[in-house]
A = this chain, B = another copy of it.
Amino acid sequence: MLDTQRVTDRRRVFDQLLEVTVLLGRDMTGALARDGLTDSRAHLLWVLDATGPSTQRALADALEVTARTVTALVDGLEASGHVTREPHPTDRRALLVTPTAVGRSTMDRLKAGHVQAADDLLAGLPAADVAALARGLDHVLARLRDLTS
Count copies of this chain in the complex: 2
Please classify the interface of chain A as helix (H, G, I), strand (E, B), loop, or mixed, using the class held by over half of its residues: helix
Closest residue of chain B to A139 (Cβ to Cβ) is B125
- Interface flag for A35 (CB, 8 Å): no
Q: Which of A4-12, A80-88, A90-98 contacts B (4 or more CB under 8 A)?
A: A4-12
Within 8 Å by CB of A144, from B20, B114, B131, lies B20
Closest residue of chain B to A22 (Cβ to Cβ) is B21
- Interface flag for A33 (CB, 8 Å): no
- Interface flag for A13 (CB, 8 Å): yes
Write the residues of chain A forming the contact surface with B, with a CB cutoff of 8 angstroms: 1, 6-7, 9-14, 16-21, 23-28, 30, 114-115, 117-125, 127, 129-141, 143-145, 147-148
